[in-house]
Chain A
Amino acid sequence: MTDQDDHFDGPRGDRASRKRTGIARRRVIGTPSPATRHLLGDDGAGDRPSAVTKPRELPADLPNPERAKRVERVVALCFTISVLASLAFVASYVIFPIHSIDKVLKSNLGLGLSMTVALLALGVGATIWVRHLMPQVELTEARKPLASPEQDRAAFRETFTEGAEASQFVKRPLVRRTLLAASVALGIAPLVLLRDLGPLPRKQLDYTAWKKGTRLVVFGSNNPITPAEFSTPGGIITVIPEGTAGDLEALAKAAVLIIKFRPEELLPPTVLNWTVDGIVAYSKICTHVGCPAALYEHTTHHILCPCHQSTFDAQRGAKVIFGPAPRALPQLPITIDAAGYLVAQSDFHEPVGPSFWELG
């Protein structure tokens, strides 16, 4: 056992030679204990320590000890930087409070930067260590058959057959069949839980919060609006049903754009009976995948959806003139009430938003 330390000669270079003469028996922290030495790659023959060094042919020493010394210092420097950066991480956690958004930015910067440096220095150090200090040797390990030895397999077969016989599983059909029935029943039972995936949407996609007589209120200020107020041709504004401000479920379907035209500019298939004095109302929800389609060019009367460039012609019933949207933006029938405010004549006459398969 005198050569126990010898297999580390190569990788550890000149320091190992000092170890061998002086404190040969002391275990260095982080290295395997002498008792487990055989796990390092002798082919199961624990009593042949020389088998580790011989077939691998690790180089005896690095060819250039001065260079190795330099590399060692660089690696140590990297690890020291990592230590300092980790300390900086703790320090920035303590130093930067997070009471305001500006401070949070500084805190994030400090924490992120120090953690990055700590991990990066560790990784860089390890890579330099591997590339410049460890021996560059290609190792080939023959793959053993994965199957167990024939003897073990025969024993397993025997045990299994014995067990099957002894359990009387084959002999007693009543037990066997009821057990199978119980298994099947238990497997089916949880299927009812699928019901909890949620109620079916039913008709929710077919209607919105708009009803006969619902006032159109401007999003944000929630003020109702008269045709006289919304009188500049080329104007556009987002309106919602009165009383739905803050109700995101309702707004998701009910957001509407009203656009002001000169009355003679509106062309079929715009439904003119559903407009008031050149003011036309379209759903703001794109019929493709439901983005807010509201990039309105008042010179061309195009409504563009920013997500996939579906383009609708607001002058002609918001019909699709470009892009993946399958149908026109639904038009909301509007009129004015006794007080002169714009109101809905009814709900939309077709579902708003993305088309779905029942739509036909």
Chain B
Amino acid sequence: MSWITARRRHPAAGYAVVVLGLVLVGVVYAAIAGYGASAAGLPPGSSAQEVAQGRELFEVSCATCHGLNAEGTARGPSLIGVGAAAVDFQVSTGRMPAKTMGAQVPQKPPTLDAAQTHALATYVASLGGGPPVPAAAQVSPAGANVGLGQQIFVAECAQCHNFSGAGGALTYGKYAPALTSATPTQIYEAMLTGPQSMPVFNDTTIPPSEKRDIIRYITQTRSEPNPGGFSLGRVGPVTEGLVGWLAGIGLLILAAMWITAKQREQ
């Protein structure tokens, strides 16, 4: 230890101690914090290789609007902190990558497959924060309380998405999409991340169990029978009135014309 004692009055010694201290603190912190903030939202089973693959996909498909480092541009928002759930929702429903800019990005057949989506979500999650993709058990409607689900759906969701999930119009060309083809995972992710105009319903406001109740209500409503045999889009009085007026009253008018028409000369 004599070399330390010999050099402790060296002009650089003070700096060396400070540097050593900083390194020590950093190492200890990293050890205590375990996985850092950037790793918190990583999907399970992801690897550095997948992050790299995701970054490649991102640069090809997303960077034009969201920026090379997902920092956002005038055309698209920053994706730092949105999390894997948001990416999985947007890409698996085909909304992203978007083809054109407009009031609302429409749903379309997804352009990336499941593995690519996973890689992309892993990369975006690696940029920091955000909710992860929920596990299958977390979104399963099995055993959920459909009654409570309906109560919450009617209070929080039905005003935009319609009481049966048929969707509806919003302002300036925006709209709430139909929920008829959304998977339980996508419904959960949408509530969690608030895509496009949709507000966010985070897990502390509507706890996961209630989200499962809502998912159960949405999925179970799809298979409910339609009284009268036709769904008519399940949008309520609009189509029902249209059919009533055009078909019902049309038939009555035709019948009235037939009854009162002058008979041909025989």
Residues in A lying within 8 Å of B, measured CB to CB = 62-64, 67, 101-102, 105, 108-109, 123, 127, 131-132, 136, 218-221, 225, 228-238, 259-260, 292, 294-300, 302, 304, 306, 309, 311, 322
In the complex where A108-B227, A220-B155, A225-B205 touch, is A298 in contact with B210 (Cβ < 8 A)?
Answer: no
B residues in contact with A108, CB < 8 Å = 227
- Inter-subunit contact B200/A235 (CB<8 Å): yes
Roughly how many angstroms separate A132 CA and B170 CA in the complex, as a whole number?
57
- Inter-subunit contact A220/B199 (CB<8 Å): no
- Inter-subunit contact A131/B159 (CB<8 Å): no
A residues in contact with B16, CB < 8 Å = none
Roughly how many angstroms separate A228 CA and B207 CA in the complex, as a whole number?
14
- Inter-subunit contact A296/B199 (CB<8 Å): yes
- Inter-subunit contact A235/B201 (CB<8 Å): yes
B5 within 8 A of partner (CB): no
- Inter-subunit contact B227/A232 (CB<8 Å): no
Classify the interface of chain B: helix, strand, loop or mixed: loop
A residues in contact with B198, CB < 8 Å = 298
Roughly how many angstroms separate A73 CA and B266 CA in the complex, as a whole number?
19
B residues in contact with A234, CB < 8 Å = 194, 199-200
B263 within 8 A of partner (CB): yes
Interface size on B, residues (CB 8 A): 34
Roughly how many angstroms separate A42 CA and B151 CA in the complex, as a whole number?
72
- Inter-subunit contact A127/B205 (CB<8 Å): no
Contact with A along B123-167 (1 / 0, CB 8 A): 000000000000000000000000010011001100110000000
8 closest A-B pairs by CB? A229-B204, A297-B197, A236-B199, A220-B152, A235-B200, A232-B202, A298-B199, A232-B200
- Inter-subunit contact A63/B266 (CB<8 Å): yes
* Shortest distance from the beta carbon of A310 to any chain B beta carbon, whole Å: 11
B168 within 8 A of partner (CB): yes
* Shortest distance from the beta carbon of B89 to any chain A beta carbon, whole Å: 15
In the complex where A105-B227, A220-B210 touch, is A127 in contact with B258 (Cβ < 8 A)?
Answer: yes
B225 within 8 A of partner (CB): yes
Interface centre among A127, A132, A299 (most CB of B within 10 A): A299
B residues in contact with A322, CB < 8 Å = 171
- Inter-subunit contact A235/B151 (CB<8 Å): no
In the complex where A105-B225, A109-B229, A300-B171 touch, is A218 in contact with B196 (Cβ < 8 A)?
Answer: no
Contact with A along B198-241 (1 / 0, CB 8 A): 11111011110010000000000000010101000000000000
A residues in contact with B199, CB < 8 Å = 234-236, 259, 296-298
Residue in A64, A101, A229, A302 whose beta carbon sits within 8 Å of that of B205 in the complex: A229
In the complex where A297-B197, A298-B197 touch, is A237 in contact with B159 (Cβ < 8 A)?
Answer: no
